[in-house]
Structure 1
Amino acid sequence: MLLRQATMADLPQIESIIRDGRQLLADQNIDQWQGSYPGTSVLVDDIHQGFTVVLEEDNEILGTAAVIPGEDVSYQQIEGQWLTKDAPYLAIHRVAVSSHHHGRGLAGELFQRVFEQIDHAKDIEAIRIDTHPDNKAMQHIIKKNGFTETGMVKLLGMDLDNVKDFAYERLTANTKAEHKVQTEAIQ
């Protein structure tokens, strides 16, 4: 399996995976992704900005996510507290796995490969993510992959202004190592 940056040629497969995810959520009566979000324009913008990554095997895209640097407007205010206050972070959004490959642990594999790429970046201290309160499967995957629940965030923009999601944060390996050294120096 390979994690790579998406290209516009990948858009049809990415849209298919997003539709699969939308349907899976609908089948579970979860009111997430049931409107126009995430639509083609969001997915195209993610690809053009270099945010979208895909997990690929034998020329088939198995999963996708948007890994976005910089401040996320929805993460500026939280009911709770981030592990890092004003530290540089990446946000992961629009995580989905092909319905043809459910049960293979691909969402976890996708996260682990993203972590490998960014864990040692000196300028990134954390990774943030959010999910719908009813999306128990994603909550489980997020926690299983080392994220800590930090509170609730109100989603802003994208016609989602009245939605509140559970928020999570994970320190990068570089930040964890720095914290360990600082803790040992104090003792």
Structure 2
Amino acid sequence: MYLRRAEMKDLPQIESIIQDGKTHLAAQNIDQWQGGYPNTNVLVDDIQNGHTVVLVEGYEVLGTAAVIPAPDESYQQIDGEWLTRDESYVAIHRVAVSANHRGQGLSGKLFAAIFKEIDENSSIEGIRIDTHPDNKGMQHVIKKAGFSETGTIAIVVDDQQDLRDYAYEKLTKLGSLVKTH
């Protein structure tokens, strides 16, 4: 099992995993991802911009996430306080794992692989992420991965206004050094 940048040939598997996520959220009566987002255009843009990473075993994509360099428009305003400066972070969005492998700790493995790549290859101090207030499963995964809750952010998705997600940040190895020295 390894992490790599997604290629356009991965799009059908990524779309299937995202659809699995939408279905899973709907089954829990969570209205996250229940409109048109994330759609094919967003996923294609992520891949073409080099933001999408996939967790792969053999030829199968097990999980996907978009790792996007700062600044992230969603994270400009927060009710709370980020742990890092405005330009020294990456944002993780659109995290999903295959329904065929749910319950096998893939989200944690996906996060661990992303963290390792960030620590080895960048000067990033922090990693930011957010999720819906009703998405208790993702909140658990985020906290277990070492993120700290930092506040709430306003999001605009599917033309819905006044949505607020819980925001989290995790310091990288570099961020930990910067904060303690």
Q: What's the TM-score, normalizing by structure 1?
A: 0.93
Distance (whole Å) between structure 1 residues aligned to residue 161 and residue 118 of structure 2: 30
Deviations along 1:111-169, one digit per CA (max 9) or x if unpaired, are 00000000244521100000000000000000000100000000146534421100000
Please give the secondary structure, in 1, of the residue aligned with 2:162. coil
Give the aligned partner of residue 37 of structure 1.
37
Contact in 2 for aligned 1:5/1:52 (Cα 8 Å): yes
Percentage of identical aligned residues = 61
Structure 1 vs Structure 2 CA RMSD: 1.3
Contact in 1 for aligned 2:70/2:86 (Cα 8 Å): no
Deviations along 1:23-53, one digit per CA (max 9) or x if unpaired, are 0000000010000000000000000000000
Matched letter for residue 134 of structure 1: D
Q: Return 5+ residue gaps in structure 1 as ranges.
A: 183-187
Matched letter for residue 124 of structure 2: I
Give the aligned partner of residue 152 of structure 2.
152
Please give the secondary structure, in 1, of the residue aligned with 2:83. coil
Q: What's the TM-score, normalizing by structure 2?
A: 0.96
Q: Return 5+ residue gaps in structure 2 as ranges.
A: none
Greater Rg over alpha carbons, structure: 1
Greater alpha carbon shift after TM alignment, 103-112 vs 121-130 = 121-130
Contact in 1 for aligned 2:54/2:64 (Cα 8 Å): yes
TM alignment of 1:5-84, pairs within 5 A: 5-84=5-84
Distance (whole Å) between structure 1 residues aligned to residue 121 and residue 60 of structure 2: 29
Distance (whole Å) between structure 2 residues aligned to residue 47 and residue 116 of structure 1: 20
Please give the secondary structure, in 1, of the residue aligned with 2:82. coil
User: Across the two proteins, how many residue pairs are aligned to each other?
Assistant: 181
Deviations along 1:39-96, one digit per CA (max 9) or x if unpaired, are 0000000000000000000110000000000211110000111111334100000000
